């Protein structure tokens, strides 16, 4: 292993830059050459590759997004696109690649491994929807962005004595809603993995109003239902106006938290160590505060479950 590449792929997540920095600096520390591949697999196919020095990753640890840009590439899903990517890898003398992204990006990394290029995946996605790791890079920052928003919405909700339905990201995984719901003191948390009964939510709202509660916040992950539709049902059942806030893409940006920066630094460094050892098709994770590696195939095949103790706690604390 003499020369490695690093790319970011799929949706961006705060902390990806810290992971790139860790890959580049660890590689140089171990005497490797390192290149940055811009715009994910799309840039790999196009040969959009630049040498990375120690200074290339200066002043990025605190920045959201990704300095290497990110993209989705339909072409890389095709054998012709993969052939071209392989040619580019060989032309540039790249021996191994670190892929920072979500589950789709790991499928791409597996393709590279199957075709003889050592590739290691680092989970970078705000959704925390990847198995075999307790956290993905960007999740903690996204949760902090959501609770900052909830705290502000709460001021208005209390002043106007209103119910707010707040929609957050999470098509298949409700972790952002769940963690932000507990940390932000939401009255109800709706996640795609758990069924809910809107009548029970309304009963809870009415119990709260009867004991003098001034506001209520219902946090809904986008995969659990649309905030406007839920708000309309609540309005019909309670006869009271509700307000809706869809947080959208603000959840993807911003300066990464200390947790995400540290996680990204640890994962990036470990990925380089695995490449040096000749490992392939592994995904880095964190389990019980230990950095671990799992076969990508196993990680992709393992169903990702929400933390039910946290879900139950959200219910207990918002009784």
| Residues lying near ligand ATP in the complex (CB under 6 A) | 9-11, 41, 72-73, 76-77, 101-105, 107-108, 111, 125
Minimum distance, C-beta of residue 225 to ligand ATP, in the bound complex (Å): 20
What residue is closest to ligand ATP based on CB?
104
Are 164 and 198 a contacting pair, CB within 8 Å?
Answer: no
CB of 208 to ligand ATP, least distance (A): 36
Question: How far is residue 146's CA from residue 170's CA, in Å, rounded to a whole number?
Answer: 12
C-alpha 59/C-alpha 274 separation (Å) is 26
Q: Which CB sits closer to ligand ATP, 30 or 107?
A: 107
- CB-based contacts of 55: which residues, under 8 Å, 6+ apart? none
**Residue positions forming the annotated binding site for Mg(2+):** 103
Q: Which is nearer to ligand ATP, 195 or 305 (CB)?
A: 305
Cα angle for residues 310, 314, 316 (degrees, 5° grid) = 110
As measured in angstroms, the least distance from the Cβ of 291 to ligand ATP is 20
Smaller CB separation from ligand ATP, 20 or 182: 20
Choice between 62 and 171, CB closer to ligand ATP: 171
Q: What are phi and psi of 195, to 5 degrees?
A: -70, 150
**Closest distance of CB 100 from ligand ATP, Å:** 9
Binding residues: 11, 21-25, 72-73, 102-105, 125-127, 154, 162, 169-171, 185-187, 211, 213-215, 222, 243, 249-252
Helix (H), strand (E) at residue 34: strand 33-37
Specify whether the CB–CB gap between 260 and 124 falls below 8 A: no
State how far Cα 2 lies from the chain centre: 30
For Cα atoms 318, 287, 224, give the angle at the middle one, nearest 5 degrees: 40
Shortest CB 270 distance to ligand ATP, Å: 19
Q: Which of 48, 59, 114, 127 is catalytic?
A: 127
The Cα–Cα gap between 106 and 13 comes to 15
Judge whether 127 counts as a catalytic residue: yes
Report the relative pairing of strands 96-101 and 3-8 from DSSP bridges. parallel
DSSP 201-230: HHHHHHHHHHTT---EEEEEEGGG--HHHH
Whether the Cβ atoms of residue 184 and residue 145 lie closer than 8 Å to each other: no
Q: CA–CA separation, 222 vs 192, rounded Å?
A: 8
Write down the residue that tokens 């911003």 correspond to.
254
Residues making up the annotated binding site for ATP are 11, 72-73, 102-105
Is 55 or 79 the residue whose CB approaches ligand ATP more closely? 79
Q: 127 or 187, CB closer to ligand ATP?
A: 127
Beta strands in the chain (DSSP E): 3-8, 33-37, 49-51, 96-101, 118-123, 163-168, 188-190, 216-221, 242-246, 282-287, 290-295
> C-beta of 309: minimal distance to ligand ATP in Å?
25
Query: Which of the residues are catalytic?
Result: 127
């Amino acid at each position: 292993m003499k020369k490695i590449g690093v790319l970011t792929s799929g949706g961006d997540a705060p902390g990806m830059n810290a992971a790139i920095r860790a890959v580049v600096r660890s590689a140089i520390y171990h005497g490797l050459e390192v290149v940055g591949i811009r715009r994910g697999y799309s840039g790999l196919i196009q040969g959009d590759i630049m040498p990375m020095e120690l200074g290339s990753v200066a002043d990025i640890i605190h920045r959201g997004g990704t300095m290497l840009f990110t993209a989705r590439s339909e072409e890389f899903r095709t054998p012709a696109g993969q052939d071209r990517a392989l040619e580019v890898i060989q032309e540039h003398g790249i021996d191994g690649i670190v892929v920072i992204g979500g589950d789709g990006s790991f499928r791409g990394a597996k393709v590279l491994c199957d075709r003889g290029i050592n590739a290691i995946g680092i989970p970078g996605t705000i959704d925390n929807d990847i198995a075999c790791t307790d956290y993905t890079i960007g999740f903690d920052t996204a949760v902090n962005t959501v609770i900052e928003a909830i705290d502000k919405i709460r001021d208005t909700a209390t002043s106007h004595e209103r119910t707010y339905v707040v929609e957050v990201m999470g098509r298949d995984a409700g972790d952002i809603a769940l963690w932000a719901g507990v940390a932000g003191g939401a009255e109800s948390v709706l996640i795609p993995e758990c069924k809910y009964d809107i009548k029970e939510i309304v009963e809870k709202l009415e119990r709260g109003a009867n004991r003098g509660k001034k506001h209520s916040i219902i946090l809904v992950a986008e995969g659990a239902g649309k905030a406007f539709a839920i708000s309309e049902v609540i309005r019909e059942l309670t006869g009271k106006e509700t307000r809706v806030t869809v947080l959208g893409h603000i959840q993807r940006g911003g300066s990464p938290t200390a947790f995400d920066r540290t996680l990204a630094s640890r994962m990036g460094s470990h990925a380089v160590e695995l490449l040096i050892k000749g490992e392939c098709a592994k995904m880095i994770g964190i389990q019980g505060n230990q950095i671990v590696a799992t076969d990508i195939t196993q990680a992709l095949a393992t169903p990702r479950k929400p933390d039910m103790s946290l879900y139950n706690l959200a219910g207990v604390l918002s009784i």
